[in-house]
């Protein structure tokens, strides 16, 4: 008789997650960064604009690296293959391209909003509820008590649209990475739970209509 480990292995072969980690793409934004560029830890403090940009760029680079090491697929808007893919479909405007990629292919969005571009991208995503819900903005802790439009306007709107933001000192790179990894895991888990709910709803609907439904295969 098979032991418990063997039985679990057999059961595992029958389980199909709706999206694998490799298929669950994460869009990571921040100061401009060549996708092939390696960024060193800044020696300066994020005490002024220049220092803050350097730390945000490093955090963008490091977040992408750690996510990939954990098995996720990470995308940058600067990637030539992504730009060429959407251009081949007739979408050439950079904002329209990023919206389309985030909507149709990405399960999570991580933003370090310090540069004009990254803050603009955050504002773009906040305007779409479906994108706001899968967006995490990791904001330097210095802005926690600011009464700027960014703090009480844009971040507040992200929260209203069911998005997420966290304040963290950009010097604490490890904590920033932990926030990003946890958010991605949560979004991936939510997708699996939502898929289960959809399957159950389809099953109930078909049962009421006298139809049949094999769980995991979709409606017949």
What structural domains and CATH numbers belong to the chain?
A: 19-192 (3.40.50)
Structure tokens at 104: 């149709």
pLDDT, tens digit (0-9, with 9 covering 90-100), for 58-91: 999 999 999 999 999 999 999 999 999 999 999 9
Confirm if 109 and 27 have CB atoms less than 8 A apart: yes
Residue 213's SS3 state is: strand
CB atoms within 10 A of CB 137: 24
Specify the pLDDT at position 21.
Answer: 85
Q: In sequence order, which ranges of the chain are alpha helices (DSSP H)?
A: 4-14, 49-69, 80-88, 94-104, 116-126, 129-132, 149, 155-160, 173-208
The pairing of strands 25-29 and 106-111 is parallel
**Global model pTM greater than 0.85:** no
pLDDT, tens digit (0-9, with 9 covering 90-100), for 124-174: 999 999 999 999 999 999 999 999 999 999 999 999 999 999 999 999 999
Residue 59's SS3 state is: helix
Rounded Cα gap, residues 98 and 11, in angstroms: 39
């Amino acid at each position: 008789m098979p032991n418990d480990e063997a039985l679990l292995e057999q059961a595992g072969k029958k389980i199909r997650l709706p999206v694998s980690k490799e298929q669950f793409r994460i869009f990571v934004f921040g100061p401009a960064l060549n996708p092939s560029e390696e960024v060193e830890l800044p020696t300066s403090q994020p005490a002024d604009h220049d220092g803050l940009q350097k730390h945000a760029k490093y955090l963008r680079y490091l977040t992408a690296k750690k996510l990939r090491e954990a098995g996720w697929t990470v995308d940058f808007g600067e990637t030539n293959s992504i730009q060429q893919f959407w251009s081949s479909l007739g979408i050439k405007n950079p904002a329209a391209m990023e919206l389309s990629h985030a909507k149709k292919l990405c399960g999570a969005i991580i933003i370090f909003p310090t540069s004009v571009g990254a803050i603009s991208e955050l504002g773009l995503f906040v305007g779409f509820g479906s994108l706001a819900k899968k967006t995490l903005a990791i904001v330097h802790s210095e802005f926690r008590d600011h009464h700027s439009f960014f703090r009480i306007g844009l971040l507040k709107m992200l929260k209203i649209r069911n998005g997420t933001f966290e304040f963290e000192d950009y010097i604490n790179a490890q904590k920033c990475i932990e926030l990003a990894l946890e958010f991605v895991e949560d979004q991936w888990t939510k997708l699996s739970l939502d898929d289960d709910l959809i399957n159950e709803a389809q099953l109930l609907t078909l049962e009421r209509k006298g139809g049949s439904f094999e769980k995991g295969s979709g409606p017949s």
